[in-house]
Structure 1
């Protein structure tokens, strides 16, 4: 565990230190996100934060190569597929941040990069449910490309408020790191080193280091270079661990934990996936491009309900944390405990979502007595 934590700290430190430098470069080059009708920020903001995130990720991976604990992974082409794929998707995002590419150009680049990663060995080969396998290499590559492209765009779609995409990805990657580490211990492996867990802790460190400058009010945005990088690396983390667990090695009573590699990615990324699916359906029903921006994402709806910028982000953090905790708890909790956690946590999240709405507070205080005007105007956070 110490080796993982050290790697996460390294990724966090590099990202934290490089971010101010990238911000200055963005300002000097005038690579700024303008204030548009769909945006919630009020001043043009630098948007090349993905460069800092890429620096943290690559720096951590290169340092990990020099450590005996993680160096064993670097003889596998999967590591280099992830490194070069991360570099390629970040470069695509940087070009888009600067020149604002057409959606079909960006999508084509995502497909090519995902295909290269799949071709180099990061593939969905089998599912740890009923021994299912994908019948051919061609089909495996196709499914892998689909997963990577969907995940890449899901994170991009949810990147609409300061700190939202980085925070949700941090929570999801953290949950998957815990799952991967616990699963190794559960199977009594001789070594606790796991490539999937290594990816997870690096993503956690990168997101944490970047959030110091990205949480509201953000000094810098991650841009498409950062959101696509997070989506790609997170999907690769899921793919690496999926199919590596044999249900028989865990015993019949551990069948459900063996199925979590399929269920957990869906669970921890449910908010970005749900937001993306709703956006695509909404836009296609209007005869618009599925990539045409609008102001009807989940975070926009929370703002319309009356939440402040920070509260809307924290509410989505809470939901992401609860769903991730629920998924990972399958490794330890009994069915009854899981049911109680689901019911209790769901009720708590619902109450937090609605309890601090300005309209409800105004109605309450109007009925219960005077409420100072300056306090009524003050945000909770």
Structure 2
């Protein structure tokens, strides 16, 4: 546990220290959006915060490689070349995001970069190897090489765009992903006590890195933000989150009977840790298509916009979504480790989503004037592949 904490601390400190020079660099090259009349912030705010997060991740990997426990997890035969995979795939996704944040990029080209990053994970041996189904359904289903690649890339693309999609308010994406990573870290550390020779230890290392990246960046990004992570950062933390999902899904053998079976399937979906952005994404697609618009057309119907529109402040909207994510993620983790009937998971998910939708419904005149409210400082400049 101490080694995981140390890796996260190194990552957080380096990320935090790198943000000021990255911010200066972004301003120098003009990687800052123009301030528009409807925006909340009054001065140009640079993007490219993901460069600092990548530096923090690299430092965390370097520190981890010199530690006995987490170093062996990274170098184990079941782990693939994880350090090389994260650096190569992360480097590619950062370059893609950097060019988009600075110069702009076609959505299909950006999608190609995401697919290629997923391909690099597969190339270095970090792939989804099996689906942990209950014994009543046949137990673990092992995937062939081609299906491993397809499924891994799919998880990467979905996770990246889910995170990218929710990156709409100062500190929102970093906070939500950080909370999700904390839940994943707790879950994987508990499982690793009984399953010490599996990839669950690798999942814990990756989750510790992700926690550090988010915590190190948040002090600079919380409202009022001094810097945005941009696509450079949102796609990077989405990639690292996807890596934790891929490794945890195929980590625990079916012999671990004292672990609830549905908990092992959750990370694949990935509902337990990114249910909020995925819910927002699905609702947006339904909303836009029902209005005869393209699913990719931007609008102000996101959950965080609705919270602003019904009268919550910028900070309160973000804190509400933090609290919801924390309660949901850790409730699922707690129930998973205790062992509960499978039917409870969909019931909890439906209730949690319903609560969030109700909380964000416009009420009375506040909702009627939603279009007149200014956009958030970050949402107005966000150009996600899906949003």
Indicate the TM-score class for this superposition, using the shorter chain for normalisation: 0.7 to 0.9
- What residue number does 1:55 align with? 55
**Aligned counterparts of 2:44 and 2:364: Cα–Cα separation in 1:** 28
Please give the secondary structure, in 2, of the residue aligned with 1:69: helix
Q: CA deviation at 1:289?
A: 4.3
Unmatched tracts of structure 2, length 5 or more: 367-387
Which whole-Å deviations, capped at 9, do the CAs of 1:86-121 have from their partners, x for residues lacking one? 111011100100011011111112112212222322
**Aligned counterparts of 2:199 and 2:75: Cα–Cα separation in 1:** 16
Contact in 2 for aligned 1:39/1:160 (Cα 8 Å)? no
Contact in 2 for aligned 1:70/1:193 (Cα 8 Å)? no
Q: 1:228 aligns with which of 235, 243, 265?
A: 235
Contact in 2 for aligned 1:245/1:258 (Cα 8 Å)? yes
Cα distance, 1:195–1:300 mapped onto 2, change above 3 Å:
same
Spell out the pairing of 1:1-381 with structure 2 (5 A cutoff).
1-36=1-36, 40-72=40-72, 73-74=74-75, 76-129=80-133, 130-185=138-193, 187=194, 189=196, 194-251=201-258, 254-262=260-268, 265-286=270-291, 288-333=293-338, 335=340, 353=359
**Aligned counterparts of 1:310 and 1:257: Cα–Cα separation in 2:** 32
**Aligned counterparts of 2:283 and 2:10: Cα–Cα separation in 1:** 37
Contact in 2 for aligned 1:15/1:209 (Cα 8 Å)? yes
Contact in 2 for aligned 1:247/1:254 (Cα 8 Å)? no
Please give the secondary structure, in 1, of the residue aligned with 2:131: coil
Please give the secondary structure, in 2, of the residue aligned with 1:247: coil
Please give the secondary structure, in 1, of the residue aligned with 2:68: coil
Please give the secondary structure, in 1, of the residue aligned with 2:325: helix
**Aligned counterparts of 1:33 and 1:136: Cα–Cα separation in 2:** 45
**Aligned counterparts of 1:250 and 1:334: Cα–Cα separation in 2:** 10
Cα distance, 1:23–1:196 mapped onto 2, change above 3 Å:
same
**Aligned counterparts of 1:358 and 1:34: Cα–Cα separation in 2:** 33
Please give the secondary structure, in 2, of the residue aligned with 1:221: coil
Q: CA deviation at 1:188?
A: 5.5
Q: CA deviation at 1:305?
A: 1.2
**Aligned counterparts of 1:41 and 1:60: Cα–Cα separation in 2:** 33
Which whole-Å deviations, capped at 9, do the CAs of 1:157-190 have from their partners, x for residues lacking one? 11010000000000000000000001112x2637
**Greater Cα radius of gyration, structure 1 or 2:** 1
Cα distance, 1:318–1:277 mapped onto 2, change above 3 Å:
same
Please give the secondary structure, in 2, of the residue aligned with 1:127: strand
Q: CA deviation at 1:271?
A: 0.6
Calculate the TM-score normalised by the size of structure 2: 0.82
Q: CA deviation at 1:290?
A: 3.3
**Aligned counterparts of 2:32 and 2:236: Cα–Cα separation in 1:** 19
Please give the secondary structure, in 2, of the residue aligned with 1:133: strand
Unmatched tracts of structure 1, length 5 or more: 361-381
Calculate the TM-score normalised by the size of structure 1: 0.83
Cα distance, 1:288–1:105 mapped onto 2, change above 3 Å:
farther
Indicate the RMSD between aligned Cα atoms, in angstroms. Answer: 3.2
Contact in 2 for aligned 1:315/1:353 (Cα 8 Å)? no
Greater shift in the superposed pair: 133-142 or 29-38: 29-38
Q: How many residues align?
A: 354
